[in-house]
Chain A
């Protein structure tokens, strides 16, 4: 069975600092990998995804993530945090042969200090 672990339920950074949100997955075969962002009282919005091809993927708002098969990781990074990045971030996986069913991590709440 697939699972997703996000390390740290709360991460706090200063404005302009590096953002690093960690995600590790468990799957018998490499899955599709996603990062979603949720702003307060809103639905989830796709930040970026890895399905095939280049393992370093770039998403919206300056975020990027790298798929590392050997480490079963898909960490999310952004070089310089902005106040508007404060939100909850979810890592998710789906099996390549099971349509779009997503397995989510528990979420990481990102706070950005002025």
Chain B
């Protein structure tokens, strides 16, 4: 049971380059999320998708775009990377209702130089 799979695990970009972080889940969850983790700041929500075909901004959306390709896949795109986007990125999917729980991928460590 794979759960949530993120690729790549590591990436180094030059300022201005673009890239897409991929995320897929096999738990048939409706909701998927992208967070970034920075030291001393916990995890902050970038974008989320409550269901296939919908996406919404989170706390820190600037500089990012997302695509909910289908129920399984939710990608995060950096169109023009900046050093401030150096971070660890986590994708998560959620079960719903009172049994709600987030399942996280292993993370993508991104460095922008």
B67 to chain A, nearest CB (A): 19
How far does the alpha carbon of A79 sit from the alpha carbon of B100 in the complex, in Å?
A: 27
Option from B42, B90, B94 in Cβ contact (under 8 Å) with A107? B42
Closest B residue, CB atoms, query A49: B101
Q: Of all chain A residues, which has the CB nearest B98?
A: A51
CB-CB under 8 A from B35, the residues of chain A are 102, 104
Q: Is the CB of A90 within 8 A of B104?
A: no
Q: Among the listed B41, B96, B100, B104, which residue makes an inter-chain contact with A43, where contact means beta carbons less than 8 Å apart?
A: B104
Q: Specify the chain A residue showing the minimal Cβ separation from B58.
A: A101
Q: What is the bound-complex CA distance between A9 and B42, given in angstroms?
A: 10
Q: How far is A41 from B105 in the complex, measured between Cα atoms in Å?
A: 11
A101 x B33 contact (CB < 8 A): yes
A66-105, CB < 8 A from B: 90, 92, 94, 99-105
Chain B: residues with Cβ within 8 Å of the partner, total of: 27
Please give the distance in Å from B82's CB to the nearest CB on chain A. 23
Within 8 A of A (CB), among B71-96: 90, 92, 94-96
Residue on A nearest B51 in the bound complex, by CB: A99
Is A106 in contact with chain B by the CB < 8 A criterion? yes
B93 — nearest CB in chain A belongs to which residue?
A100
The yes or no answer to A42 lying at the interface (CB within 8 A) is yes
Whether the pair B101, A46 counts as a contact (CB closer than 8 A) is yes
Given contacts A36-B104, A102-B33, 12 further A-B contacts (CB under 8 A): A9-B40, A32-B100, A42-B106, A45-B104, A51-B98, A51-B99, A94-B100, A99-B94, A100-B100, A101-B33, A101-B58, A104-B42
The 6 closest A-B pairs by CB, nearest first: A100-B94, A104-B42, A43-B104, A51-B98, A44-B104, A104-B43
Question: What is the interface of chain B, defined by CB distance below 8 A to chain A?
Answer: 4, 31, 33, 35, 40-45, 48, 50, 58, 90, 92, 94-96, 98-102, 104-107
Residues of A that sit less than 8 Å from B by CB: 4, 9, 32, 34, 36, 41-46, 49, 51-52, 90, 92, 94, 99-107
Write 28 A-B pairs (CB below 8 A) sorted by A numbering.
A9-B40, A34-B101, A34-B102, A36-B104, A41-B107, A43-B4, A43-B104, A43-B105, A44-B43, A44-B90, A44-B102, A46-B101, A49-B101, A51-B99, A52-B98, A90-B42, A94-B100, A99-B48, A99-B50, A100-B31, A100-B96, A100-B100, A102-B33, A102-B43, A102-B45, A104-B42, A104-B43, A106-B41
